[in-house]
């Protein structure tokens, strides 16, 4: 069945996730959806120094938004900030150096951010695909720590800030790769069996879809969404999937095309007319499971994921400095 899922996903990807898929879908976009002025609204974008995160931050800055860039590497982040300010003329760009794989650091940042800023829109874009099993300084498997636990902690820590604002939104950048994975709560840190970085990443991305659905049920006055950017030509794809990149490089989307739906979800009035908790691709909600694929989870597994992440989260909160 995994062979079937992988094959269907790849064929679907060749048709929909490449640049030609975007060009076809974009014929039906309404340009007015994103021709909005967001001056006075505050956006936080993780992983914002390159790729889809930087493209998203740039488009929001161009429309007047206050943008908080959350990045791990100070030097690269400062360069990116300078480029965004120069390109958009928007001076309201702020930089925060945070490692999203470090839960204590996230808690410390979030507590400080809540005291100093307002927040209308959180964009969880930071992610990683490490192809060999690697542990963080806290003993966490690095993909899980970044993609799942980091996303969970940052979002839950900032929910009280979002709850204060009108039209608050949370957008998480996932991947169509999650379609080949069924939620597995028995091995969150990939300790069993052969480690396959691509499949671990896909499992994390399935977890992000479940998180979004669960948050949407629990927090009715915030609009949650999760999306697939398509297959885009980003530094992360080049470094983490070199073979895929070499085969597909002439067909990949631009960073801007990959970011288009993130921007649409973050700023358009149309996005929030749709229910909270949906999975999007090219400005449209799409199914979270392939036809005939046995990737559906029982509700108790989804609840268990939330419980386990909350336990992890509190463990690191209680020992966080400051």
Instruction: Supply the residues annotated as catalytic.
Output: 201
Q: What is the C-alpha separation between 252 and 234, in angstroms, rounded?
A: 9
Q: Which 8-state DSSP code applies to residue 286?
A: -
Q: What is the C-alpha separation between 62 and 85, in angstroms, rounded?
A: 9
Tokens standing for 260?
């288009």
Q: What's the distance, Cα to Cα, between the start and end of the chain in Å?
A: 49
**What 3-state DSSP class applies to 241?**
coil
B/e letters for 255-291, b = 16+ CB within 10 Å, e = fewer, are bebbbbbbbbbbbbeebeeeebbbbbbbbeeeebbbe
Tokens standing for 174?
């996932």
| Strand extents, DSSP E, 66-132 | 66-71, 93-97, 121-124
């Amino acid at each position: 069945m995994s062979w079937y899922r992988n094959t269907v996903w790849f064929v679907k990807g060749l048709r929909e996730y490449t640049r030609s898929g975007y060009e076809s879908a974009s014929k039906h976009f309404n340009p007015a959806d994103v021709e909005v002025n967001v001056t006075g609204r505050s956006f936080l974008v993780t992983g914002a120094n390159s790729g889809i995160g930087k493209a998203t931050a740039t488009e929001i800055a161009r429309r007047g938004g206050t943008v908080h860039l959350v990045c791990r590497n100070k030097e690269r982040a400062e360069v990116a900030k300078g480029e965004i300010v120069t390109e958009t003329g928007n001076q309201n760009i702020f930089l925060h150096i945070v490692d999203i794989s470090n839960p204590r650091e996230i808690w410390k940042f979030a507590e400080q951010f809540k005291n100093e800023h307002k927040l209308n829109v959180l964009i969880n874009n930071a992610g990683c695909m490490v192809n060999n099993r690697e542990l963080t300084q806290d003993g966490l498997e690095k993909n899980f720590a970044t993609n799942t636990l980091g996303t969970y902690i940052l979002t839950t820590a900032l929910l009280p800030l979002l709850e204060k604002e009108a039209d608050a939104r949370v957008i998480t950048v996932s991947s169509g790769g999650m379609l080949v994975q069924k939620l597995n709560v028995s091995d969150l840190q990939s300790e069993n069996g052969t480690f396959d970085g691509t499949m671990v990443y896909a499992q994390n991305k399935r977890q992000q879809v479940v998180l979004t659905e669960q948050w949407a049920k629990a927090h009715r006055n915030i609009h949650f969404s999760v999306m697939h950017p398509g297959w885009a030509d980003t530094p992360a794809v080049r470094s983490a999937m070199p073979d895929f990149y070499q085969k597909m490089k002439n067909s990949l989307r631009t960073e801007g095309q990959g970011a288009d739906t993130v921007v649409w979800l973050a700023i358009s009035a149309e996005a929030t007319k749709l229910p909270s908790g949906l999975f999007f691709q090219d400005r449209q909600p799409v199914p979270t499971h392939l036809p005939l694929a046995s990737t559906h989870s029982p509700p108790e597994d989804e609840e268990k994921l939330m419980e386990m992440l909350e336990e992890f989260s509190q463990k690191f909160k209680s020992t966080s400095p400051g």
